[in-house]
């Protein structure tokens, strides 16, 4: 049963920074950690959503994790009560406490097959840029175009489309160029039938310029993604964030933690040492290559204009349009653009 969760994987130290707590969240793969006082009483919880709200309010990944935590987390007094609370579908994991308020267990039903992410059906169109040559994966891409490189049993492009289909996003617009006939041929003969409209680039237009080919084809918010990234976040939450903030473009960004394997020294005038940090942890947000976009953005792209999509975002920002970042966990983002990342994606999806 899913109530037999290892409690130690979900307890974060009260001295943790947000970045350290996020590592714990990623490791337990359930999206939450809890904080206890010296008497093992529950004093807070932290989810990736709490971290996102903390960052959007101007907080830092090196802030104390308790600053971003929910100080009044939901809890139960018994397994039966936890199960009832959980299935209200507003929670990730429910802690169970005894009569003294000490945490004695946790309940989650992910392992029973229920995943609340897929409750809301979005029914948005998806645009995928699959026109690049995939030079970082050469010589593999000399034979196969990047969208058809297998990750386990399926090519990456099919993995991406299946993730969108979980939210009832079934209409795909795929921009192709390099080895485009191979890509089209695969999907014509594919056992899984997908609703795809193909858009042929006559010349390479960058990661954003090809969107111009869809002028007049889309009339509401759409997902736009590169063909080498897979996201397992809650797409419904991303759409809600985009709509509630009236964004023109929402860029999905992943928290990235990078451990520097050296002692770092800060110096001042005449080499005076001002500060020393042993193997510090750097935290930042990185662009995943996945976006929510309003259709009017397409009208701002010229015919045959070679542009990266980040350049388009910067143009929209300078025009006074509202663009924003939606932070997600590093654990929810997979990028197969280089060979090491391709192998990591295989391991994550198939355990190979």
pLDDT per residue over 70-109, tens digit each? 998 888 887 777 777 776 656 678 888 887 888 888 877 6
Same domain, 123 and 270: yes
Long-range own/partner contacts, residues 142-147 (CB < 8 A, 24 or more apart) = 144/179, 144/182, 145/178, 145/179, 145/180, 145/182, 145/183, 146/178, 146/227, 146/228, 147/174, 147/176, 147/183, 147/227
Same domain, 108 and 122: no
Same domain, 289 and 321: yes
Give me the CATH number covering residue 94: 3.10.580.10
Residue 45's domain spans which residues? 7-114
Q: In the listed set 114, 135, 150, which residue is the last one of a domain according to the structure?
A: 114
pTM here is 0.75
Q: How many domains does the chain have?
A: 2
Same domain, 190 and 42: no
Same domain, 173 and 241: yes
Q: In the listed set 97, 114, 131, which residue is the last one of a domain according to the structure?
A: 114
Do 199 and 173 touch, CB atoms closer than 8 A? yes
CA nearest to 283, candidates 108, 104, 119, 55: 55
How high is the pLDDT of residue 111?
45
Beta strands in 69-119 (DSSP E): 94-97, 103-107
How high is the pLDDT of residue 2?
41
How high is the pLDDT of residue 19?
85
- Over the chain (352 residues), the average pLDDT of each successive run of 10 is 64 88 81 88 87 86 89 81 68 80 77 55 92 74 82 88 93 93 90 90 90 94 92 90 95 84 83 83 86 96 92 95 91 76 71 58
Same domain, 134 and 200: yes
Same domain, 96 and 125: no
Q: Is residue 26 part of a domain?
A: yes
Same domain, 136 and 68: no
Q: Is 80 helix (H, G, I), strand (E, B) or coil?
A: helix
Give me the CATH number covering residue 264: 3.90.550.10
| DSSP structure string for 182-231 | HHHHHHHH-SS--EEEEEE-SS--HHHHGGGGGTTT--S-EEEEETTEEE
Same domain, 70 and 139: no
How high is the pLDDT of residue 128?
96
For the record, the structure tokens of 138 come out as 């050469």
How high is the pLDDT of residue 317?
95
How high is the pLDDT of residue 110?
56
Number of C-beta neighbours around residue 113 at 10 A: 7
Buried/exposed code over 166-205 (b: 16+ C-beta within 10 A; e: otherwise): ebebebbbbbbbbbbeebeebbeeeeeeeebeebebeeeb
Token pair 């969240």 in the structure block, residue? 25
Q: Is residue 310 part of a domain?
A: yes
How high is the pLDDT of residue 109?
62
Same domain, 178 and 222: yes
Same domain, 109 and 130: no
How high is the pLDDT of residue 99?
78
Q: In the listed set 114, 129, 159, which residue is the last one of a domain according to the structure?
A: 114
């Amino acid at each position: 049963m899913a109530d037999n969760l290892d409690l130690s994987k979900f307890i974060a130290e009260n001295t943790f920074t947000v970045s350290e707590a996020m590592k714990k969240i990623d490791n337990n793969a359930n999206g939450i950690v809890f904080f206890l006082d010296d008497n093992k009483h529950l004093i807070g919880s932290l989810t990736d959503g709490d971290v996102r709200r903390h960052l959007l309010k101007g907080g830092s990944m090196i802030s104390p994790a308790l600053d971003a935590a929910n100080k009044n987390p939901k809890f139960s007094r018994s397994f039966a009560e936890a199960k009832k609370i959980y299935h209200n579908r507003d929670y990730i994991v429910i802690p169970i406490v005894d009569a003294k308020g000490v945490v004695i267990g946790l309940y989650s039903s992910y392992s029973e097959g229920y995943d609340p992410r897929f409750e809301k059906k979005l029914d948005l169109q998806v645009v995928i840029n699959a026109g690049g040559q995939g030079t970082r994966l050469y010589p593999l891409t000399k034979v196969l175009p990047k969208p058809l490189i297998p990750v386990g049993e399926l090519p990456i492009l099919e993995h991406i489309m299946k993730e969108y289909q979980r939210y009832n996003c079934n209409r795909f617009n795929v921009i192709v160029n390099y080895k485009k006939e191979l890509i089209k041929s695969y999907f014509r003969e594919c056992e899984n039938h997908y609703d795809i409209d193909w858009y042929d680039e006559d010349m390479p237009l960058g990661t954003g310029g090809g969107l111009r080919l869809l002028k007049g084809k889309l009339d509401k918010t759409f997902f736009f993604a590169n063909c080498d990234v897979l996201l397992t976040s809650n797409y419904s939450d991303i759409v809600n964030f985009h709509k509630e903030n009236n964004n023109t473009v929402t860029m999905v960004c992943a928290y990235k933690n990078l451990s520097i394997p050296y002692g770092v020294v800060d110096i001042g005038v005449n080499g005076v040492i001002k500060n020393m940090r042993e193997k510090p942890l750097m935290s930042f947000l990185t662009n995943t290559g996945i976006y929510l976009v309003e259709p009017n953005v397409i009208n701002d792209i010229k015919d045959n204009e070679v542009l990266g999509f980040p350049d388009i975002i910067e143009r929209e920002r300078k025009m006074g349009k509202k663009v924003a970042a939606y932070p997600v966990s590093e654990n929810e983002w997979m990028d197969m653009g280089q060979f090491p990342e391709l192998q990591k994606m295989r391991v994550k999806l198939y355990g190979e």
